[in-house]
Amino acid sequence: MLQVDWLWGSQEKKSWVAVCESPCRASVAPGAVFRVAGPGVRASSPFAIPDSATHVAAETGSRGGYVTGVILLSAGAAVGGIGLTLLAADYGSAGGSHETAPEMGMITLAGLATGVVGFVLMLNNRTNVSVWANTNAPTRTASVAPRLTSHGFVF
């Protein structure tokens, strides 16, 4: 269940107020600030609906997937950093035997791989909102994070 929220209130105290749940057919004031949110969904960036807009569509990302990505990226960076530090210490020590170099290299690679998986999860779990009129193709107006496509990063 997705919902559209409206940013409402005074300058000192603004809050998100639910406008409708999907599928939403609500008429809203053009120019007002909205977002798409819901249970387990990463909320979109705030967006405004212009006068000419007649449709809003959301491509949602998982909040859990994003949090998992943050955790894996952080853990991967930490493990990779520890492995790299131990590897450098082994090679930097005078008369080091380098017997543990393969293990330290594997720890470093495992950390880096975990970090890459986390980064990809973060990029792919965002919510995009498109706003368009009947005669126009969708135009992206709000995105939480860049995403990786076959053409590179899309913002």
Domain boundaries, the chain: 3-61+126-145, 64-122
- Look at residues 125, 117, 121 and name the one whose alpha carbon lies nearest to residue 143: 125
Please, which pLDDT band fits residue 146 given cuts at 50, 70 and 90? very low
Give the CA dihedral 59, 124, 17, 28, nearest 10 degrees. Answer: -30
Using a 10 angstrom Cβ sphere, with 0-12 exposed, 13-18 middle and 19 or more buried, the burial of residue 77 is middle
* DSSP letter, residue 124: H
- pLDDT score, position 96: 62
Please indicate whether residue 108 or residue 24 has the higher confidence score (pLDDT). Answer: 108
Average pLDDT taken over every residue of the chain: 81
Q: Mean pLDDT over residues 89-111, rounded? A: 80
| Segment of 7-16, 25-34, 119-128 carrying the highest mean pLDDT | 119-128
